[in-house]
Amino acid sequence: MNNYKNLVDNIRKKGSFLCIGLDTDLSQLPSHIKESKWPLFQFNKEIIDNTHDLCVAYKPNLAFYEAEGVDGWIQLKMTIDYIKEIDSSILVIADAKRGDIGNTAQRYAKAFYESLNCDAVTLAPYMGRDSIDPFLQYKDKWSIILALTSNSSADEFETLTVSNEPSMPLYKKVILQSNLWGDKDNIMFVVGATRAQKLKEIREFCPDHFFLVPGVGAQGGTIEEVAKYGMNSNIGLLINVSRSLIYAYKEHKQDPDSSLNFATYSRLYAQEQVLQMQKVL
Amino acid sequence: MNNYKNLVDNIRKKGSFLCIGLDTDLSQLPSHIKESKWPLFQFNKEIIDNTHDLCVAYKPNLAFYEAEGVDGWIQLKMTIDYIKEIDSSILVIADAKRGDIGNTAQRYAKAFYESLNCDAVTLAPYMGRDSIDPFLQYKDKWSIILALTSNSSADEFETLTVSNEPSMPLYKKVILQSNLWGDKDNIMFVVGATRAQKLKEIREFCPDHFFLVPGVGAQGGTIEEVAKYGMNSNIGLLINVSRSLIYAYKEHKQDPDSSLNFATYSRLYAQEQVLQMQKVL
């Protein structure tokens, strides 16, 4: 069971609010992994074996599995089952960004919460409450709603002023409106790390919820800054690191097929993140 | 190849701008179909066999396949392959409503355009251009962007006034902005049938693009009204009908396992839609 209290307890116990993004790209894998029958799973398994004591969540990015067709979907399921087997207290977040009308959202909820056994799924808010509500009907599961993302075109729509209120950008409206549908126990928000000032503003009008924060590392955000502006008394943060962690061996120019496992570099990278987190916890 | 010209030609040739939504729900299928090894595919196959001369597009709704896990994904692929085999001029639209940062959107584009061989995919605009651009790089493929949807909570965000311009609801901003990224040859918009007045307004500022129009039938829109307000000189409309067509036998209280095929009722229903379309073509 992965409810709010358990998540906070787990963060305190592990001294980590790290989420590891499994954006596992077949074309990026070491050649000895590519040759295995289930390369995405094999890669993920070694990452998980080397990092599960250092993180509180894994976040498989659905696109990378769907790109490989049926085999990708099989390996997504294998990955999730393996995480649950290794440590059932680790949150599994399907980074799927789904969003559709009620009867369709119900089927997505079934796909992610039942068929795949995930604890959380990322959702797009554009279509409003209908598209989120079916997910909120599941006990001890989370809907993680896009608010302010870290990509460069986020400003095209997310920061537009709405409702003729100068202090009401769309992402704020999304957060305030979503808080009418659920609460901190079943909703989190995606808030990018790249704009610390915005994180501070959002924390002011949304004090209790967890934020899933991408954009640390490659995109320029830092753990120190995110913690300074985004942390609350129950931590309230999951910082996600994907490519810079899972492909850490590339930075070390290490031969990924050498006897020293590529995932060892991922572990070192994860340890560095956790050390920074422990400074602020 | 399914480009703009071919689509318009196909609509004129068939006298139909019908899109059939394959929202194939395992729990809703006739019992003799449920017993087959691939029930979603078996059901779809019979619908396709009975309707492919009457429509110009099929739109599998991804949620219904994902809900069945790996088997669902297999049957989605079987369905798409079967449509292409029966009539390669029919547009296959993946109703997936994806939307994510650039490197992830690239993988989704690969999943839908390469691995699944779809012609089009529905996309959510919340994250801006980054999330659409990778799809637009494929020649003779379509991005179908959510603008004004037909669900009851569409007004929560989609119709909010943005940019301090009283005449600029978010859905209009999405359409105008998207038209900077591509054109009628690679972009369509989702515009619900339930608000005819809005359809008229949208056609005025977006004269050339195709609109994918859900909400006819069960949700209350009519073909006559949609055509009156939404049609342009190249038709510019794909009207989608899903549940009321694929489960038409339920309205006739027909035993779905009788010797008279359930899909015969779907054919009759499709014929009724096409007759109405031919009146306005």
What value does the mean pLDDT take over residues B155-182? 93
State the catalytic residue, choosing from A77, A84, A97, A250.
Answer: A97
Three-state secondary structure along B215-231?
CECCCCECHHHHHHHHC
Q: Is B142 an interface residue toward A (CB < 8 Å)?
A: no
A195 pLDDT band, cuts 50/70/90, is confident
B176 pLDDT band, cuts 50/70/90, is very high
Q: How many CB atoms lie within 10 A of CB A220?
A: 12
pLDDT the model gives residue B114: 97
Structure token pair of residue A184: 């901190």
Residue B64: list chain A partners with CB under 8 A.
104, 107
**CA-closest candidate to residue B145, choices B159, B128, B169:** B128
Above 80 in pLDDT, residue A168? yes
**CA-closest candidate to residue B237, choices B255, B251, B225, B247:** B225
pLDDT the model gives residue B129: 98
pLDDT the model gives residue A260: 67
Structure token pair of residue B4: 């703009």
Say whether B275 sits in a helix, a strand or coil: helix
Above 90 in pLDDT, residue A196? no
pTM to 2 decimal places: 0.97
pLDDT in tens, B120-165: 999 999 999 999 999 999 999 999 999 999 899 999 999 999 987 7
Above 80 in pLDDT, residue A111? yes
pLDDT in tens, B226-276: 999 999 999 999 999 999 999 999 887 666 666 568 999 999 999 999 999
Element (H, E) at A71: helix A69-86
User: What Å distances lie between residue A39 and A19, A51, A79, A93, B4, CA to CA?
Assistant: 22, 18, 11, 21, 39
Name the residue of chain B whose CA is nearest to A190's CA.
B127
**Could you give the dihedral angle defined by the CA atoms of residues A227, A232, A235 and A239, in that order, rounded to the nearest 10 degrees?**
-40
| Binary contact (A157, B150; C-beta < 8 A) | no
Indicate the pairing of strand B187-191 with strand B142-148. parallel
Domains of chain A: 4-149+178-280 (3.20.20.70)
Q: How many CB atoms lie within 10 A of CB A191?
A: 30
How many A×B Cβ pairs under 8 Å? 186
Residue B218: list chain A partners with CB under 8 A.
none
Name the residue of chain B whose CA is nearest to A145's CA.
B126
The span from the CA of A265 to the CA of B245, in Å, is: 55
**Bridge partner list, A188:** A144
Structure token pair of residue B132: 């659409």
Q: Which ranges of chain B would DSSP assign to H, the alpha helix?
A: 4-14, 31-34, 39-51, 62-66, 69-86, 102-109, 133-136, 170-178, 196-205, 223-230, 243-246, 248-251, 262-280
pLDDT the model gives residue B166: 77
Q: Is B218 an interface residue toward A (CB < 8 Å)?
A: no
Residue B73: list chain A partners with CB under 8 A.
69-70, 73
Average pLDDT, rounded, for chain B: 94
Average pLDDT, rounded, for chain A: 94
The answer to whether residues A153 and A181 touch, using CB atoms and an 8 Å cutoff, is no
The answer to whether residues A23 and A243 touch, using CB atoms and an 8 Å cutoff, is yes
pLDDT the model gives residue A193: 86
Question: Is this prediction's ipTM beyond 0.90?
Answer: yes
Above 90 in pLDDT, residue A19? yes
Q: How many angstroms away from the CA of A151 is the closest CA of chain B?
A: 6
| Binary contact (B146, A127; C-beta < 8 A) | yes
String of DSSP letters for B237-248: EEEEE-HHHHTH
Residue A92 has, within 13 A of its CA and on its CB side, a CA count of: 24
pLDDT in tens, B192-211: 988 888 999 999 999 999 99
pLDDT the model gives residue A259: 56
Residue B98: list chain A partners with CB under 8 A.
63, 97
Structure token pair of residue B24: 């194939």
Above 60 in pLDDT, residue A41? yes
Residue B176: φ, ψ to 5°: -65, -40
pLDDT the model gives residue B254: 62
Lowest mean pLDDT among A189-203, B214-228, B244-258: B244-258
Active-site amino acid positions of B: 97
Q: What percent of chain A has pLDDT over 70?
A: 96
Element (H, E) at A21: strand A18-22
CA angle (B92 as vertex; B90, B97 as ends), nearest 5: 155
Q: What percent of chain B has pLDDT over 90?
A: 89
pLDDT the model gives residue A212: 98
What value does the mean pLDDT take over residues B66-95? 97
Say whether B121 sits in a helix, a strand or coil: strand
**Bridge partner list, A143:** A121, A187
Above 90 in pLDDT, residue A218? no
Lowest mean pLDDT among A137-151, B88-102, B153-167, B244-258: B244-258
The span from the CA of B109 to the CA of B88, in Å, is: 20
pLDDT the model gives residue B215: 84
For chain B, give the number of residues.
281
The span from the CA of B40 to the CA of B37, in Å, is: 9
Percent helix, strand and coil across chain A, each rounded to 5?
50, 15, 35
